[in-house]
Amino acid sequence: MDKTEGIPFSQSQENKKGATAQKKFLRFSLTVLLAGAVIGGIFSLHQAWPHISVYINSIGFHGNIDRLREFIHSFGFWAPFVSACLMITQSVVLFLPAFPIFVVNALSFGVFWGMLLSWSSAVLGSLVCFVIAKKLGRPVVQRLVNRVHLETADLVLRRYEKYVILLFGLLPVISFDVISYASGLTLLTFWEFLPLVCLAQVPSTLFYSVLIDKIDRGTLDAYWVIGSILFLMLGVFSLALRAYLTHRWRVKSTETLEKLQ
């Protein structure tokens, strides 16, 4: 027997409205608490900054970064070209991290030229991924890219069209190289993709290059740390959004299979 049977319609509607109001109040309360925690954390950071800055500005880049830097410098005049090749390779292969290359470029070539080198080579890497997908098709791309990530990128591009590429340059919901591969599988042309990827690669390249340069010079101030925290929060939000998009893709795949049966 249905639990709602025998309950007047008006009373049922009131119960639903009450439950909805409680959910809204709970969401609002959590939002206020989160905002208060963030503001309180930033205020505390600002107050304790004189002590924290001594520690942060004393951080050096060692280990693998030093070895990578020595490797790139060993090529002398060709060092920028080698750095660009490494950046393009990590874009295509995907499991290689790009951040050490950003660090080495900023430390080796200065904030401006290092940033320009990182940006241009990241753009070239994205274009190579796009061309591989466009020329060789989905079977090859599926061997290079995680299937769930690729299908999630497909879903986003179909729903929100090409301009979502600009958003993914700021929010690392999915690896931008995966977005480049997925874009190559759409009707998007090379010349349509080029300006979008040039703009999308600017925010992260600029942020990382300047941040690394400030740490290296020991001139990192409280405002940059606050900016870094906000950037990190964007990253956390991106992970949550990626989980949501992955869930949407799985639900959509299940519905498609049920229709085919």
With contact defined as beta carbons under 8 Å apart, do 204 and 235 qualify? no
Both structure tokens of 103: 């660090």
**What is the full per-residue pLDDT of the chain (261 aa) written as tens digits?**
444 455 454 555 555 555 566 666 666 666 666 555 555 554 554 454 454 444 444 444 444 677 788 888 888 889 999 899 888 888 887 656 777 888 888 888 888 899 999 999 999 999 999 999 998 888 888 888 877 778 777 777 777 666 777 777 666 556 778 888 888 888 888 998 999 899 888 887 887 787 777 776 665 555 555 555 565 565 555 556 555 666 665 666 665 655 655
Q: Is the pTM of this model over 0.85?
A: no
Q: How far apart are CA 106 and CA 198, in angstroms?
A: 19
From the list 179, 172, 177, the residue with the least C-alpha distance to 236 is 172
